[in-house]
Amino acid sequence: MPEEDLEVTQEIDVKMAAKIAMNYFDELFGGPYADLTLEEVEKKGVVWYLTLGYNPGRKLGGTIVIPPNATRQYKLLLVNAINGEVESMKVRRM
């Protein structure tokens, strides 16, 4: 079998999956968020399930103003471990 026909696929690790998820969140919501944190990680098959936590707020001159009655929000992002694509993002109830 010719060498060019061999396909070696290396899955992305949890650190790369977390970086992809956080960058995706920041790009969509105009980050960076100083309080964006990785809360949970689980891998099922070839999909990473990552829960990110953040405080909702408004940006004012580079500063995020968080309302006093705000509760922490969570997003569940599914990242494909083969190609690194974000497959979905949902509200995560904790």
Between 10 and 62, residue with greater pLDDT: 10
Note whether residue 4 is domain-resident.
no
Beta bridge partners of 47: 44, 80
Note whether residue 32 is domain-resident.
yes
pLDDT over 70 percentage in the chain: 76
pLDDT for 93 beyond 90: no
Note whether residue 2 is domain-resident.
no
pLDDT over 90 percentage in the chain: 55
- Over its C-alpha atoms, the chain yields an Rg (Å, rounded) of 17
Those residues whose C-beta lies under 8 Å from the C-beta of residue 43, and which sit 6 or more positions away, are 14, 49, 81
Alpha carbon distances (Å) from 57 to 14, 38, 73, 78: 28, 18, 10, 24
**Span 28-43, pLDDT tens digits:** 988 767 688 999 999 9
User: Domain count of the chain?
Assistant: 1
Note whether residue 1 is domain-resident.
no
